[in-house]
Amino acid sequence: MNKQIEDILNRIYSSFEKKKELRLSNDDWFFGFETNLYDYENESVLKLYNKLQEIDKSIVEDINSLYYKSEKFNFYFFDCPSIVYEKCFNVRCNMFLKKYNEAREIDFIEIEINKHSSPSEYRILECNGEKLNYDKYIRKLDLNIQKSARNKLLFLNSLLDNTVDERTALVSLNIFKGKQGKLVFDKLLEDLPITLNEIDARGNQAKFISIWKNATSRALIFKPSIMFKDYIGYLNDTYGTNYATRSTSSGVKHEQSIDALLKGYQAGEI
């Protein structure tokens, strides 16, 4: 660890220890501070209050300093600059994947999003073997630190979108009979039509089901090993539907339309 970073962490640790000592020796007065029942006319209480204010000010200054030194020395902590967070992301993700061998990158991304969406308990600095939660100071910190939280979430959500797209593409490769099968499927969606921007519109589910139940379209589009549950899983993952494998939509009334469209495609209209 860089010496400047280490010095800052030691100062923060020392400040937390001072607060702890003051609390142990003035426990009754701390109750007043925590419940806003200050006895401002009591000189001893006022003196203690001023000491606490000085310590808190020192902690805020040191966390601000840690933030800026973090970028200089590429030091990761929960509220480090977003540029440091992004640089450290792959290393941290790989450590997570080694620890949990059944996990995937998307699991790590989702955990990170949850942490940065509700960060209070994760604002921890490890100093001299102790974990110090600095969340109570976050509103007093430099505005850049507060904005970096937003930038981290933007970065994570971008990664999540890309990961979902890659997963969907992988599923597509697994269920369709090559590029031609996917092309026929997409063309049927366009011509039936299935309104993807209104995916829950009446009739869409029946049309999706009819593509599967029509023997000709199924043979043209899907790999022979694909089962109905695989197809439904693809629809739910790709279009955000919530179809069950035991669908009540028969799709029969759309099969003639599909036959006519497929004949047109075979005649060179695709």
Q: Is the pTM of this model over 0.85?
A: no
In terms of average pLDDT, the best of 29-33, 158-162, 239-243, 256-260 is: 256-260
Would you place residue 187 in the very low, low, confident or very high pLDDT band (cuts 50, 70, 90)? very high
Domain spans, the chain:
3-167, 176-269
Structure tokens at 165: 């797209």
Q: At a CB cut-off of 8 Å and minimum separation 6, what does 80 contact?
A: 67, 70, 71, 88, 148
- 116-137 average pLDDT score: 92
| R_g of the chain computed on alpha carbons | 29
- 142-154 average pLDDT score: 88
Would you place residue 35 in the very low, low, confident or very high pLDDT band (cuts 50, 70, 90)? very low
In sign, the C-alpha dihedral spanning 46, 52, 56, 59 is positive
**In 3-state terms, what secondary structure has residue 90?**
helix
User: Across-strand partners of 158?
Assistant: none
Cα–Cα distances (Å) from 47 to 39, 41, 193, in that order, read 11, 11, 76
